[in-house]
Amino acid sequence: MKYEDLSELKKLYEDGVNITTHLKEINDSNSLYAIEVAYDLQAGSYTEVALQNAENLSLYFSNIAEIMAPHLKAGNRILDYGTGEMTTLTGVANKAYPSDTKTFCFDLSLSRILWGKQYSGRFMKDEIRQDVCPFVADLGDIPMQDNAMDVVWTSHALEPNYRRESLILAEIFRVAARKVILFEPSYEANTAEGRSRMERLGYVRDLPTHIEQQGGTLSSVVRLENISNPLNPTHAYIIDPPERYGRERSDSVFACPSSKTPLSRREDCFYGEKSLLAYPIVAGVPILRKNHAIIASHYDSVSLSRFVT
């Protein structure tokens, strides 16, 4: 399947076909393309669920907030990795984020980020929302400097990435200076029926082993009580990232996803003075993905004003 088939896939989705399963049958894996297409087509559905199940989800958010709060400090930079439509971020931040927190969040899908901006604009506390920076990025190429974040956390963002666990954890550990907290399903603690479901959907497995292999120290695993699906039990994996990048937070934040050299925001793009690549900003959202890079070797040196008479 290629991008020109999106209209066909959208029709299938509107007819009730599970796009993730459909593309998995074609490609025999949860390819990045399959995940991207499925999530983008589903954009808006998570917001709808959040609006319809506000009371039950509040319990889930409280559960996450209670686990996260002891690890958060005023002035932290916090990354919500795979934020979706920012529904969980909004609920958790309102309950747990301390003052003067700089919040970063990204997703593979622009459509979901746009829904998230709308949702957070309505429900997130003003003092938190004013310091939120959403962007689009690939899960395996976080466009940030080493140790850019104090805390990185997820809520079912790793979930559909079976066989990519180590790649993703390596990137998360690279940008996390102090703590990583993963709220993800546990294959090992699941029932036989639940494990069968996770296998069918291509969900992550054996996270403790992958964490150890990537140098992380798993300090504890906590089962969440307030979950919506007993076949998909959420566990909190509380991790100290490896010290190969040190423990000091970097001064700068964004990096070119291709070269990992610094990026700075300009009026119409993010630009790398060393990489000479520009990344567009769409509807106010930076698109920081390798395949969206624009070669712009003269971006800083050419001024249109010199051609004006």
CATH of the domain at 229: 3.40.50.150
Q: What is the mean pLDDT of residues 231-249?
A: 90
Q: Say which range, 20-29, 55-64, 292-301, has the weakest mean pLDDT.
A: 20-29
Q: Which comes out higher in pLDDT, residue 296 or 24?
A: 296
**Same domain membership, residue 112 and residue 32:** no
- Identify whether the C-beta of residue 261 lies closer than 8 Å to the C-beta of residue 272: yes
Is 168 inside a domain boundary?
A: yes
Is 255 inside a domain boundary?
A: no
pLDDT at 1 > cutoff 50 = no
**Same domain membership, residue 59 and residue 7:** no
- Identify whether the C-beta of residue 142 lies closer than 8 Å to the C-beta of residue 81: yes
The pLDDT of residue 306 = 53
Q: Which residues constitute the domain of residue 27? A: 3-42
**Same domain membership, residue 213 and residue 134:** yes
**Same domain membership, residue 277 and residue 151:** no
Residue that terminates a domain, selected from 200, 218, 245: 245
Is 256 inside a domain boundary?
A: no
Is 259 inside a domain boundary?
A: no
pLDDT at 209 > cutoff 90 = yes
Integer Cα distance of 265 and 6 in angstroms: 31
**Same domain membership, residue 197 and residue 277:** no
**Same domain membership, residue 169 and residue 110:** yes
Q: What is the mean pLDDT of residues 183-191?
A: 96
Nearest alpha carbon to residue 216 among 188, 264, 178, 183: 178
The pTM of the full predicted model, rounded to 2 decimals, is 0.90
Q: How many domains does the chain have?
A: 3
**Same domain membership, residue 119 and residue 52:** yes
